[in-house]
Amino acid sequence: MPLVTPWSRFVQRQADSAAWQRWTCLGLLAPTALVAATTDAGFLANLLLIIVSALAADAIAAWLRGISPGAVLADYSALSFALMFALTLAAEAPWWLGMSGAVFGLFIAKQAFGGHGEYLFQPLAAAYVFTRLGFPEFSGPSLMDTATAALCADIPATALIALALLTGALPLLILKAVDWRIPGVVFLTLILSLALSRSIDPPLWAFNTIIFTAQPSLLLVILFVATDPVTSPVTARGRSLFALLIALPMAVGAWTVDLTTAMAIVLLANFLTPLIDLMCRPRIFGHQNRGSVFLD
Amino acid sequence: MIVNKRLLLRAKHGAFSRAGGMKLTSTKAAALRCGISSMPPPPRLFLEVADHRSRPAALLVKAGDKVRKFQQLSRTVDLSQAPVFSPLSATVAAISRDAHTRRTTIRLDILASDENAESETLPPLTDYGSLTAAQITERIAILGVSGLGGRGMPVAHKLAAAKKRRVQQLIINAVESDPDISADEAMIRERSKAVVEGARILQRASSAERCGIAISKEKKAAIAALRAALAGSDIELLILPTHYPLGEEHRLIYALFGTETAPSASILDAGFLCFNAATAHAVALAVNRGEPMISRIVSVDGPTPLRPQNCEVLFGTPIWHLLEVCGADPAQKDRTLINGSMRGQLLENTQAVVHSGVRGVRILDASELLQSDELERNCINCGHCVSACPVNLQPQALFRASRARDTFQLAALGLEDCIDCGLCDQVCPSHLPLRDYFGAGRSEMRLWQGSVDRADHFRNRFDAHQARAERKLRRPQSVALAARQSDSKTEFSRTSAKAEIAAAVARVKARRAERAEDQGSPRKDDD
């Protein structure tokens, strides 16, 4: 007999964190399919390998921690990690690179920190930076950015992938699974920097900023990695500040920012998240100040 | 009657709508379709009398006694506890005390006779205007009127606390923002005159400068009834938007007057006094008719075959009996919630009875139960609870601190200011039972506070002892000598010593007799 708990009647109709992860996976299906269509079968084999190793790493780590592996896999976070990680790999990446990245991301960056909800650094960003630093010889641009085979007559494949990513993130924004402020502030900062730079050196900056924001791998970082609620601050103000911290180096770096830099920027911002949370903690109703400072 | 329209305006554009809270789907309509139904008296009533501090309750009856309706059954020591009255003519079948809950239960077997008994305690009153504030408070105290808003604090106790401070505004709270409790609304529809009368009495008793009845705007029938009852009165009608948890007094005061008061502090400090509308009604009955408080209106809600309704229920009625009378399916009784789905508790004690704190009983529908695959997941820091919290706490951090039993962190994060509204629980996508965690955190804090207090107590004792010893040592030689000499000067006399001993024994005996009469217990009070 299943355990049934009576609870607030509203809970059922409300948000569900596992559903959010399912939506993330669904949103990543279209970009993955587009990348698969523009590359060879090696990508699909790699994707399968990454998924299997990610799920296995998550389950084994859970088992080692004494938690039911089924319950850990049921939140779909390992699957969404695997889908995103496969998209970020370079064309020349050997089969074991994706596998080792997935194992690092889930075993070290996620489970060693206490599992979903407890990690300090976004596992995808950590895994990506790990593979880049550990194996620099395979650090070419990701498959998303190098998808050249034209699917339609006039539209480049990268633009289609970027569009698919944007559409995939839309349900998450509507469900409030991710805070709109993070992508919102990042895009706003980039647009403002574009407007500013146009007045300084019109032709060069305008062109580069547009190309830059349309890069699918950077969209992936902005929409899916930076917005991870676990590693972003918890208050609205904190999230805006966090997004500004991510956007400013991107705006300054402009066209020199690639996927590796973006991931590193997110990791640095994750590093500051506890501090931002502390600085932006709200004033409790009826109290004059924010109370004493306690760091975790 | 003054209707404050500015409030509505402020409610639309004002600060409070930004400060959390939520508009919830209401299920009150079903219970409000019919008027207040009176329940046939149950065969047995179980009246609970809580211990006073560490003493068992002082009862005025013993097993086997016959009691009449309105007869007083227990006596109280001070205003912090209200006396208990017999709701009907009955026989005292048994008296038992539960050492764990520290409650004495009086079991009454109801007699099928004299229904129209009169109050034994106090005669009815023709005009309370002739009484002073202190006399009204005394009358309320004698008749055992307790708050009906949920906490059940004796009204006289609150009034006595208010006497020491200047009360600027008295608020009669009829907001009842819970989505599934409609007891106050049903009561006001039918008995608005008594509510207004109670408001006047309370204003007089508390010497408040202004008095207002706060109600939310969706209660149209109740507002119309209040308007009629308030005609020609200087009591304000304060109409608020429908918003949960506006019924909580600190939120209410903020919405009405823009004054922020910390939920951990008393609103009296800011010059406010707040009573529930049902309490005002009970006060009117007590002061005018001399009737002690023996019943309350309970909102009953749930799936068919239960008939949702508002029932006037005698105190001491078993909740399961009430549900049976309302037609509940016995198989569903194990998912009964007390006091609504937002702030309520699951009824686990099958013998629980209706008392002044039970506002509503609700059976959850099968579709409202969380299934096993929807149970608690990890907190993912999504921040929904932070934006939902009406008092700007950080429930996700409080959850982690509660789990870690970190009392310092709990105190720093302001758990004391949590109003237990249940909104964080409701929005949590990981289905964390946050209210339960906070409850555990609160008891952890209490334990911690207790150990701190104990340590302080013994440290003070030790310090005092050290100081005494030091004083003794430092006493000048001459003074010590003089004391010794004066001791030796008084000569020992057998007769005077005997007389002294006899006097001391008599004193002790007198004190013991007095205490036994007073308490019915030989135990020494340890405060």
Least confident of A248-262, B33-47, B238-252: A248-262
CB contact under 8 A, A287 and B262: yes
Q: Does A294 touch chain B (CB under 8 A)?
A: yes
Q: Distance between CA B137 and CA B140 in Å, rounded?
A: 5
pLDDT band at residue B519 using 50, 70 and 90 as cut-offs: low
Q: What is the pLDDT of residues A252-281, one digit of tens each?
A: 876 667 888 899 999 999 999 999 998 888
Question: What pLDDT sits at residue B299?
Answer: 94
- Comparing alpha-carbon positions, the chain B residue that sits nearest to A281 is B394
Of B371 and B498, the structure prediction assigns the larger pLDDT to: B498
Q: What is the pLDDT of residues A153-193, one digit of tens each?
A: 566 778 888 889 999 999 999 998 999 999 999 989 988 88
Task: Find how far residue B363's CA is from the centre of its chain.
Answer: 23
Is B487's pLDDT higher than 80?
Answer: no
Nearest in space to B94 (alpha carbons), one of B65, B52, B58: B65
CB contact under 8 A, A16 and B429: yes
Mean local confidence (pLDDT), B304-314: 90
Mean local confidence (pLDDT), B138-149: 90
Angle, CA A294 vertex, CA A288 and CA A296 arms, to 5°: 145
Check residue B182 and give left, alpha or beta (phi > 0: left; psi -120 to 50: alpha).
Answer: alpha
Cis amide linkage into residue A229, ω under 30° from 0: no
Is B486's pLDDT higher than 70?
Answer: no
Mean local confidence (pLDDT), B500-513: 91
Least confident of A35-44, A207-216, B20-29, B301-310: A207-216
Mean local confidence (pLDDT), B439-445: 92
Q: How far is CA A6 from CA A51, B343, B371, B451, in A?
A: 36, 13, 9, 35
Distance from CA of B369 to the nearest CA of A (A): 5
Q: Distance between CA A79 and CA B324 in Å, rounded?
A: 50
Q: Distance between CA A276 and CA A239 in Å, rounded?
A: 8
Q: Strand pairing partners for B297?
A: B312
Of B303 and A151, the structure prediction assigns the larger pLDDT to: B303
Query: Angle formed by the axes of helices A77-88 and A123-134, to 10°?
Result: 40
pLDDT band at residue B121 using 50, 70 and 90 as cut-offs: low
Question: What proportion of chain A, given as a percentage, has pLDDT over 70?
Answer: 84
pLDDT band at residue B214 using 50, 70 and 90 as cut-offs: very high
The partner residue sitting opposite B372, judged by closest CB among A2, A16, A177, is: A2
Q: Can you tell me the ipTM of this complex?
A: 0.88
Q: Does A156 touch chain B (CB under 8 A)?
A: no
Nearest in space to A134 (alpha carbons), one of A83, A91, A87, A99: A99
Mean local confidence (pLDDT), A59-70: 92
Please provide the size of chain B in residues.
527
HEC string for B216-279: ECCCHHHHHHHHHHHCCCCCEEEEECCCECCCCHHHHHHHHHCCCCCCCCCHHHHCEEEEEHHH
Q: Which two tokens stand for residue B169?
A: 């505004």
Nearest in space to B526 (alpha carbons), one of B150, B105, B53, B165: B53
Which residues from A are below 8 Å from B265, CB to CB?
286
Mean local confidence (pLDDT), B128-138: 87
Q: Where does B295-433 have alpha helices with state H?
A: 319-325, 340-343, 384-388, 395-403, 407-412, 423-427
Q: Distance between CA B279 and CA B157 in Å, rounded?
A: 13
B110 φ, ψ to 5°? Answer: -75, 135
Mean pLDDT over all residues of chain A? Answer: 84
Question: What proportion of chain A, given as a percentage, has pLDDT over 90?
Answer: 49
Is B225's pLDDT higher than 50?
Answer: yes
Q: Strand pairing partners for B403?
A: none
Question: What pLDDT sits at residue B492?
Answer: 62
Mean local confidence (pLDDT), B74-84: 87
The partner residue sitting opposite A291, judged by closest CB among B382, B386, B414, is: B414
Is B351's pLDDT higher than 90?
Answer: no
The partner residue sitting opposite B364, judged by closest CB among A6, A20, A177, is: A6
Of A275 and B344, the structure prediction assigns the larger pLDDT to: A275
Q: What is the pLDDT of residues B403-428, one digit of tens each?
A: 999 999 999 899 999 998 888 888 88
Q: How far is CA A244 from CA A210, A249, B297, B383, in A?
A: 19, 9, 55, 18
Task: Find how far residue B401's CA is from the centre of its chain.
Answer: 28
pLDDT band at residue B28 using 50, 70 and 90 as cut-offs: confident
Give the dihedral sign, CA A199/A200/A203/A207: negative
Model confidence pTM above 0.95: no
Distance from CA of B387 to the nearest CA of A (A): 8
Q: Does A256 touch chain B (CB under 8 A)?
A: no
B523-526: list long-range contacts, CB under 8 Å, 24+ apart.
Answer: B523/B54, B523/B55, B525/B53, B525/B54, B525/B55, B526/B54
Question: What pLDDT sits at residue B358?
Answer: 92
Please provide the size of chain A in residues.
296
Of B444 and B341, the structure prediction assigns the larger pLDDT to: B444
Q: What is the pLDDT of residues B166-211, one digit of tens each?
A: 899 999 999 998 888 999 999 999 999 999 999 999 999 999 999 9
Question: What pLDDT sits at residue A167?
Answer: 94
Mean local confidence (pLDDT), A121-139: 91
Question: What pLDDT sits at residue A12?
Answer: 47
Question: What pLDDT sits at residue B20?
Answer: 57
pLDDT band at residue B113 using 50, 70 and 90 as cut-offs: low
CB contact under 8 A, B380 and A4: no
Mean local confidence (pLDDT), B310-322: 92
Q: Distance between CA A157 and CA B352 in Å, rounded?
A: 68
Is B372's pLDDT higher than 70?
Answer: no
Q: Distance between CA B95 and CA B106 in Å, rounded?
A: 5
Distance from CA of B472 to the nearest CA of A (A): 44
C-alpha gyration radius of chain A: 20
CB contact under 8 A, B412 and A294: yes
Question: What pLDDT sits at residue A108?
Answer: 94
Q: Does A145 touch chain B (CB under 8 A)?
A: no
Question: What pLDDT sits at residue A153?
Answer: 57
Question: What proportion of chain B, given as a percentage, has pLDDT over 90?
Answer: 38
Distance from CA of B221 to the nearest CA of A (A): 27
Q: How far is CA A190 from CA A141, A196, A205, A216, B498, in A?
A: 22, 10, 11, 15, 100
- Comparing alpha-carbon positions, the chain B residue that sits nearest to A273 is B381
**DSSP annotation of B293:** P
Nearest in space to A250 (alpha carbons), one of A166, A193, A196, A204: A193
Q: Distance between CA A205 and CA A197 in Å, rounded?
A: 6
